[in-house]
Amino acid sequence: MSVTRRQVVTAAGLAGLGGLAMKVEGALLPDDDMVAIPAGKCRLGTIRPEAERLAREYGCHVTWLSGEYPERTVDLPEFAIDRYPVTNRQYAAFCKATGYPPRGHWIGPEPPEAILDHPVLMVNQEDCRAYARWARKRLPTEDEWEKAARGTEARQFPWGNRFDPEACRWNMDDPTKPLGFPRTAPVNAHPKGASPYGVMDLCGNAAEWVEGSPGPGSGIIKGGCWMTQTPMNLRPAARNMSGFAVNQAMFVGFRCAKDVK
């Protein structure tokens, strides 16, 4: 199923982000709260001189960014993408409707109340596809995800070119925090993290599976997560954390996309 323009929230209609969070907390309709990303060209990846600058900034050998260069320009048709990552609440509704198994970190058939609006974790690429099929959506491609995050101007971060530690959930793997301290955050907790289109929570919190594979058995993961300690790996262009597609990790979730006709 595809959606019409009227069913998605356009970038122009994003002024009041706070109100949109209501949809996450309220009734769940899989088509809720998607953002239309206009058709057109964008620059993805990283040009080599920029990779060299970033390597100096982050104290690594430039080849740690080698999955990102050369930069490429792609021309994508219009598509819609979920404003927020899929939450535990949404994934639980899917499990209830289909009999799909609950996630490992729920410690039971349903997620704890405290993390209902946090991103679902412990999903592998196929778990994400199963949800997307149920929601009559699909996973975004890597190119779509990166465009939704960086806009057409190849921003370093969704909010701009300078890292803002308040704009995402990161570096929370802190042994000094008490047991039970929530490492993730609600998906709408970082309004400063909005992308040029108003897509939220793309960096940190849950890293996100996208469609596609860098090699046999592998899947692509984007955006860094609550454990990520360096902004280098929170950048939407980063690719180093892409891993085994069958693994269900405690830091990986997803969001869905859809064709727009």
Partner 1 sequence: MGAIQVRGITHNMGMQLDNVPAFPKNAFGGSFPEAIGDSARSFWYGSIKPEWSTDGDKVISKGAQPNEVEYTITFTTTDETVDIVTEVTNISDKPWKQSQAFNCFSPIGAVDVRDHDCVRHYVGIKGELTPLLKVPRKFGPRPTIQLYAVEGGPKWQDIPFVANFQCSPDDVQLEPWMAIESKDRKRVIAIATKPCLYLFQNMEFSCIHAASGFGPLNPGQSGKSLTRLSFVRQGIREWYARMKKEMAEANA
With CB under 8 A as the contact rule, the residue among 2, 66, 73, 98 that binds partner 1 is 66
Of the candidates 205, 228, 235, 260, which one interacts with partner 1 according to CB under 8 A? 228
Q: Give the residue with the Cβ less far from partner 1, 3 or 185.
A: 185
C-alpha 230: how far from chain center: 17
**Interacting span for partner 1 (CB under 8 A) from 71-79, 95-103, 155-163, 226-234:** 226-234
Which one of the spans 57-65, 129-137, 148-156, 187-195 is the region binding partner 1 (CB under 8 A)? 57-65
Our finding on whether 107 is near partner 1 (CB under 8 A) is no
Do residues 224 and 238 make contact, with C-beta atoms less than 8 angstroms apart? Answer: yes
DSSP 30-69: TTSSEEEE-SEEEEES--HHHHHHHHHHHTS-GGGGTTT-
Spatial CA neighbour of 84 closest among 195, 180, 164: 195
- Least separation in angstroms between residue 11's CB and partner 1 is 31
Residue 44: HSE in the Cβ half-sphere, 13 Å Cα cutoff: 22
Selection from 187, 183, 225, 220 nearest residue 206 by Cα: 225
Rounded Cα distance, 226 and 206, in Å: 6
Question: Which residue of 60, 97, 107, 114 would you call a contact of partner 1, by CB under 8 A?
Answer: 60
Q: Which of 7, 141, 218, 248 binds partner 1 (CB under 8 A)?
A: 218
Q: Is residue 70 close enough to count as binding partner 1 by CB under 8 A?
A: no
Asked if the peptide bond before residue 38 counts as cis, ω within 30 degrees of 0, the response is no
Q: Does 227 bind partner 1 (CB under 8 A)?
A: yes
Q: Which parts of 139-178 interact with partner 1 (CB under 8 A)?
A: 173-175
Question: Is residue 63 a contact point for partner 1 (CB under 8 A)?
Answer: yes
101 binds partner 1 (CB under 8 A): no
- Tell me if 64 sits within 8 A of 55, measured CB to CB: yes
Q: Which of 12, 49, 61, 99 binds partner 1 (CB under 8 A)?
A: 61
Region from 96-104, 108-116, 143-151, 241-249 binding partner 1, contact rule CB under 8 A: 241-249
Q: Answer yes or no: are the C-beta atoms of 255 and 210 closer than 8 Å.
A: no
Nearer to partner 1 (CB atom), residue 68 or residue 117: 68
Burial of 189 (0-12, 13-18, 19+ CB in 10 A): middle
Residue 217 backbone class (left: φ over 0; alpha: ψ -120 to 50; beta: rest): left
- Binding segment for partner 1 (CB under 8 A), chosen from 23-31, 36-44, 55-63, 80-88, is 55-63
Residues that bind partner 1 (CB under 8 A): 58-61, 63-64, 66-67, 173-175, 214-218, 227-230, 232-233, 239-244, 247, 249, 251
